[in-house]
Amino acid sequence: MPQHWARVVMDGETERYMRNLDAQSLHALEISGSKWRDFGFASYRSAKYADYDWCAGPMAQTFDVVIAEQVLEHVRDPRAALLNARAMLNPGGLLVVTTPFLIRIHEEPLDCCRWTARGLEFLLNECGFPQVETGSWGNRRCVRANFDRWVDYVPWRHSLRNEPNFPVVVWAFAR
């Protein structure tokens, strides 16, 4: 299955981080996705909008890992969403967030916010996550290529060289 050029490095970093966890002992919630369904968690739940509104409040259940990939930019109140994620985490729990930065607006159903790696770290700190590891990746060619459509990655054609001043995507691992 083709992978979007904009997501290659970010997906690699999140997968590397997640492989270092003891997934078999962890209870996971994935917000608005199902990518991690077969990762081998002790238990796994997916909560999709509109069945679950991340901004409206936390679920009664708690988890060891909450995963929100390419979701935070779509919520009306990112602080509320992150505070709800914090409330759903067990002590020592992990929040995984990925989000675009220099990507075209994509109203699915809304597109509201963008953060640099530092901005996302500050926001997560403000929402009760004192330990935050962030990263970002991008380059000018990828920014330009994704103006009109999502470009599939072709290794011989697309560079994964990072230009830090042109971050296409941003990610964070927060506790």
- Domain encompassing residue 118: 5-174
pLDDT by residue for the chain (175 residues), tens only, comes to: 789 999 999 999 999 999 999 999 999 999 999 999 999 999 999 999 889 999 999 999 999 999 999 999 999 999 999 999 999 999 999 999 999 999 988 888 899 999 999 999 999 999 999 999 999 999 999 999 998 889 999 999 999 999 999 999 999 999 9
10 Å CB burial of residue 19 (0-12, 13-18, 19+) is exposed
Number of structural domains (the chain) is 1
Task: Write the CATH number for 35.
Answer: 3.40.50.150
pTM to 2 decimal places: 0.96
CA within 13 Å, CB half, 70: 18
